[in-house]
Amino acid sequence: MLAVIAGALVARRAQALAVLLLAVLASAAAAAAPLYVSAAGQALARQELADAPSDQQRVRISSIGEHTGLPDDPGTAPFQGLLTPFAAAGYDVVLGAQAGGVTVGPAGRTVNGNLVFRQGVCERVTVTGSCPRSTAEGERPEVMVSANTAAHLGVTAGGEVTFAGVPLRVSGVYRPLDPTEPYWLGDELLRPPAPGAAPPSAVGSADDAIFTAAASRLADDDAVLQRPLADVFVTDELVSTGSAEDIKAAVATATSSAPHVRFGTGSGLPQLLDRVAVQRDQLESGVALGAGLLVLLCWLVLFVAVGSAADERRPEQGLLLLRGVQRRRLWALALGESAVPALAAIPLGALTGLAAAELLAAHTLTGDARLALGGAAFAYATIAAAGALAAVLLAQTRTLSAPVVDLLRRVPARARGWRTSLGDVAAVSVAVAAMAQLRSGGSPSGLALLAPVVAALAVGVLLARFALLSSAAVGAALLARGRIRAGLALLQVGRQPRFRPLIALLTVAVAMLAFTAGIRQRATEAYADRAVVDVGAPRVIGVDALSRSHLLSAVRAVDPEGRYAMAVVTSSGGDAKTPVLAVDSPRLATVAATHPAYGVAPAELARPLRPAPQTESVLLRGRDLTVTVDADFDEFAFAGHAPRLHLLVAGPTGSRLVGVDRPLASGREEYRVPVPECVPQCRLVRFEVSAQVTPGPLKIRLEQVRAGDGTVQLSGADLADMRRWRQPGQTVDYWFDSAVGGEPALLLDVPDGRRTAPIPIAVADAPNPLPAWLTRSWGTQHGSFRYDGIDGAPTNALIAGFVDRLPRLGGSGLLVDLEYADRLAVAGQDGTKEVWLGAAAPADVLERLREQGVAVRYDRTISGEREELLSQAPALALTFNLFAALAGVLIGAAGLVTTAAADQRSRVAMLVALRRQGLAVRAVRGGYGWPVVFATVAGASATVVIWLLARDGQRLFGDGRSPAPVPAWPDVGRLLAVTVSAVTVFAVTAVVLGWVLTAAVRRRTTR
């Protein structure tokens, strides 16, 4: 039998080669999936590592006890083997030591930066002067300070400073080459600047680390206490190609062993590894669709090719059976002919899959990916090859089990009976089960990952059956009417069962290309939408300012015309609280990025947020204020509980409640209030009277407020102007009004009765309640809305209208004016401060902000956010699936070619006979265009079906969050362009095959 199989392979080497190539293609498609997952997983791990905070990139091992002397090179001995496993595994280990203390410059100015020894620092800085060197006994130890520290202390290279009373020589002034390098430990060594004065450098602050070298013993080593430490950094290679479990085990071992040698550890590395694992899982499940599509198409094309070839060998097999050859020998021959190329396809397919994965990774991923054939790739290739072998045998089942009479027919008999529907029932059943699992909720897994593919196959199989039945009937009708060319081609399609799997194959190819292209386009639009809503403006700068008013004034100083910059404060709204977005509303329309998901244009959003207030703000000037008060109360009854007067003032550093210099006394008195924040000026927020109890009536007349130099800040008439004042909150157990009789004044009247809450009289320089826009997720009822303000204190808003979504907050939140919200604020400086920039922002805008004392913390852009989304696991999986669908078009064309090649000899013979009987030349056509037409219609139908059922089951975002609505349908024009290109490939293939067939007929009929 082996010799017979070898002879059959040689005799039918073209078919064997076709089976080999298609099996290689199936194995390559299956092997490419895990290889691409590996490459993309490496890219994702590198990106996560680059974006991770410092504590998640390393393991810190530090001494529990303190050692005397200046920080020095500890060496590895004190760690007693804790570092050995890390060094052997390829981690980057940086040894060091640090001491905390105060450094004093020659002019007496101080900084709180740590004194640090750290290996490799000189290779990572540029130095004016020189790096510190080891000093001999009696010499002053040398240190290196940052440019920020040097400017603050007023010292240069060659100068001197003292640390904890120890004199030190400054050998150099350093600037880091790459402050974003993990070596610098985020903000630990290069401290972020505090808001206020502009720093001399864009990186770091005056409290940057001061670096020293190995030094001799001090005269008094006890003056300085330092801790040896080691930072163990995980590398790109370990995170991308290493085992997460091994890394976690190493961290756990160090954590458990360190206390035994008086060391402690700290690391956020496991959190990083967990995020990488989630991304890889999402990538693996997302790629399953593309890999399943390719493998299924390869199996289908093998089924088509082998089935067509088997139909051509029917007479041969019939004669063998007539001569007594047993069927089991025919099965053995068929198995042998198929098994040899299928087995050979496993290594070849794995190598081809490796090349394909490397090519795709080079064009879709950043950085170099290290790919190698492993057990997973060979396992998937073997499964695909086994499936290919099964497809080959299944394709020959009908021929090998047919009666001899049927085998001797030129045209196979039409299959009848329940067995002919088993395939259809199986395909539909699998598709229904997959769709049910997909739509049941939760993350797709198992069969649900392949739901679009099996659904497209089910639609293709059913419509292919209908196409064959209708083409036979229509073809016969056309022949009866004299439409020879079309009728003959349709009749040929309807009479040949081999065209049914071909139509199903082309249907799946068309439908899955349209579906994956539509999902990819939908995802791209969703990424752009999310970037716009999440960021809020073309560019957003996270900042730290002294206060909200400082932020407003700084941004207005940088952009006085309001063309490109806007101050913003956001509060997260945790614990079921309403998130708040406070903006400098007159600039909203100019700076914020527009998006239709908001439902209202930014210009419309800004309009109702800033109505004219009752009065302008009350500005106070002077370091000391004097308040004239005429109080009327029973001092005996209030004994020990005399009321006190406070002023809540807001300056550049925030708001502060300041009390007068003594408790109020009955009668007319002047009280002094020290307010250094009112130089050059501050804003009066409110007066506040505190009285623990009010055992009798209490009346207070506020008659005047003047500066220390006698300048009147608030006259009696100003205080008596009731348009200036409002009553915060909803309390009604006190009231105030203009004083009646005598000099004008503001009169506060508190009836007797116990009272513990302060009694406020606020400046009415902002509308209260504050006008606001509310997202519809919080309801659509107009009127007052209770929420926590930007200072964290409960307050009310007056709803001006409702929106679907808001910039940055998405579908849940409240939009208010920042300046008015700040005027109403009475508590702390809660919230995240940002500066939103429009497209017209100049290139040096960050420097301008720093000059205003605003410290820059982060920088986000809409384009950067979109690129980040495109580099995450779901987007990479969609890219692979689109690549698979494009490759599926070529596989479909290959199926068309193999069907025509198997059909060539019999079709040529039939058409030659018809030509000799008078068939016109123009009627001689291949008829291969009709399967393309049927597949196009079926593919369009299948696309609509799987889109409606499966579009929401495709993962677009790693975190599953979408602040903007995801488009329900792709752009029809773009989708048609992609689909038409696939149909064009099939149509051109069919035309070429028709030309080949026509040319062969003409050669035979002109001899």
Least confident of 277-291, 493-507, 671-685, 987-1001: 493-507
pLDDT band at 664 (very low <50, low <70, confident <90, very high): very high
Q: Is the pLDDT of residue 832 over 80?
A: yes
DSSP letters spanning 384-436:
HHHHHHHHHHHHHHHHHTS-HHHHT-SSPPPP-SGGGGHHHHHHHHHHHHHHH
More confident residue, 430 or 629: 629
pLDDT category of residue 302 using cuts at 50, 70 and 90: confident
* DSSP H or E stretch at residue 465: helix 451-480
Contact predicate 751/697, CB 8 Å = yes
**Count of positions (residues) in the chain:** 1007
The 3-state DSSP class for residue 29 equals helix
Cβ atoms of residues 206 and 151 within 8 Å: yes
User: Is the distance from CB of 186 to CB of 51 less than 8 angstroms?
Assistant: no
Nearest in space to 16 (alpha carbons), one of 347, 383, 302: 302
Q: What is the mean pLDDT of residues 163-182?
A: 92
pLDDT computed for residue 326 by the predictor: 62
Cis peptide before 663 (omega within 30 of 0): no
Q: What pLDDT, on the 0 to 100 scale, is given for residue 407?
A: 58
Arithmetic mean of pLDDT, 657-665 = 92
Greater model confidence, 861 or 488 = 861
- Residue 700, token pair as written in the block: 């207070």
Tokens of 565: 């910059």
Task: Kindly provide the b/e burial profile for residues 322-355, where b requires at least 16 CB atoms within 10 angstroms of the residue's own CB.
Answer: eeeeeeeebeebbbbbbebbbebbbbbbbbbbbe
Q: Is 120 exposed, middle or buried (0-12, 13-18, 19+ CB in 10 A)?
A: exposed
Contact call for residues 166 and 179 (beta carbons, < 8 A):
no
CB 745 within 8 A of CB 703: yes
Q: Per-residue pLDDT averaged across 78-93, rounded? A: 86
Which pLDDT belongs to residue 551?
94
Distance between CA atoms of residues 192 and 854, nearest Å: 11
pLDDT at 728 over 60: yes
What is the Cα–Cα distance from 851 to 868, expressed in whole angstroms? 31
HSE-CB of 693 using CA atoms within 13 angstroms = 11
Yes or no: domain 619-763 corresponds to CATH 2.60.60: yes
Q: What is the mean pLDDT of residues 776-795?
A: 88
Backbone angles phi, psi at 110, to 5 degrees: -125, 155
pLDDT over 80 (residue 642): yes
pLDDT for position 764: 92
How confident is the model at residue 785, as a pLDDT?
A: 92
Q: What is the pLDDT of residue 417?
A: 47
Average pLDDT in the chain: 84
HEC profile of 646-657: EEEEEECCEEEE
| Domain locations in the chain as residue ranges | 1-54+267-413, 57-239, 546-613+767-853, 619-763
Closest CA to 37 of 448, 385, 369: 369
Token pair listed for 129: 């002067």
The token pair that represents 71 in the structure block: 């920080």
Residue 363: is its pLDDT beyond 70? yes
Flag the least confident range among 416-420, 477-481, 558-562, 1003-1007.
416-420
| Long-range contact pairs involving 329-336 (C-beta distance under 8 Å, separation at least 24) | 329/1, 330/400, 331/400, 332/1, 332/5, 333/1, 333/4, 333/5, 333/8, 334/392, 334/393, 334/396, 334/400, 335/393, 336/1, 336/2, 336/4, 336/5, 336/8
Q: What is the pLDDT of residue 918?
A: 63
Would you say residue 347 has pLDDT above 60? yes
Band (pLDDT 50/70/90 cuts) for residue 322 is: low
In terms of Cβ atoms closer than 10 Å to its own Cβ (0-12, 13-18, 19+), residue 516 is buried
Q: What is the mean pLDDT of residues 387-399?
A: 68
Task: Give the residue from 168, 184, 31, 172 showing the smallest Cα distance to 103.
Answer: 168
Determine the pLDDT at residue 409: 61
Can you tell me whether residue 792 is helix, strand or coil? coil
Provide the pLDDT confidence category of residue 323 given band limits of 50, 70 and 90.
low
- Predicted TM-score (pTM) above 0.75: yes
- The pLDDT assigned to 401 comes to 63
How far is Cα 265 from Cα 258, in angstroms, rounded to an integer? 7
Residue 862: name the closest of 595, 629, 681, 665 by CA: 595
- For residues 443 and 85, the model is more confident at 85
Q: What's the confidence (pLDDT) of residue 609?
A: 94
Q: Angle at the Cα of 830 (from 826 to 835), degrees rounded to 5?
A: 115
The answer to whether 887 and 290 have CB atoms below 8 angstroms apart is no
> What proportion of the chain, given as a percentage, has pLDDT over 70?
85
3-state SS track over 51-96:
HCCHHHCEEEEEECCCEECCCCCCCCHHHCCCCHHHHHHCCEEEEE
Residue 494 has pLDDT above 50, yes or no: yes
* DSSP codes of every residue in 503-559: HHHHHHHHHHHHHHHHHHHHHHHHHHHHHHHHH-SSEEEEEE-SSHHHHHHHHHHH-
Per-residue pLDDT band at 5 (split at 50, 70, 90):
low
Q: Which of 455-459, 640-644, 991-995 reaches the highest mean pLDDT?
A: 455-459
In the predicted model, what is the mean pLDDT of residues 633-645? 85
Place 69 in a pLDDT band, splitting at 50, 70 and 90. confident
pLDDT of residue 1003: 76
**What is the spatial distance between Cα 520 and Cα 522, in angstroms, rounded to a whole number?**
5
And the tokens for 624? 């000391």
d(CA 779, CA 195): 39
What is the average pLDDT across 8-19? 61
Whole-number Cα distances in Å, 681 to 154, 293, 702 = 30, 71, 21
* Arithmetic mean of pLDDT, 280-292: 87
Predicted confidence (pLDDT) at residue 219 exceeds the cutoff of 80: no
Q: Residue 828 — very low, low, confident or very high, per pLDDT cuts 50/70/90?
A: confident
Q: What pLDDT is recorded for position 418?
A: 45
Q: CA 75, CA 922: separation in Å to the nearest integer? A: 91
Nearest in space to 163 (alpha carbons), one of 148, 147, 143: 143
Q: Is the pLDDT of residue 491 over 70?
A: no
Q: Please state, for a pLDDT cut of 90, what percent of the chain lies above it.
A: 35
Per-residue confidence (pLDDT) for residue 15, from 0 to 100: 63
596 Cβ neighbours under 8 A, 6+ residues apart: none
**pLDDT for residue 475:** 73
pLDDT tens digits, residue range 404-428? 656 566 555 555 544 556 767 888 8
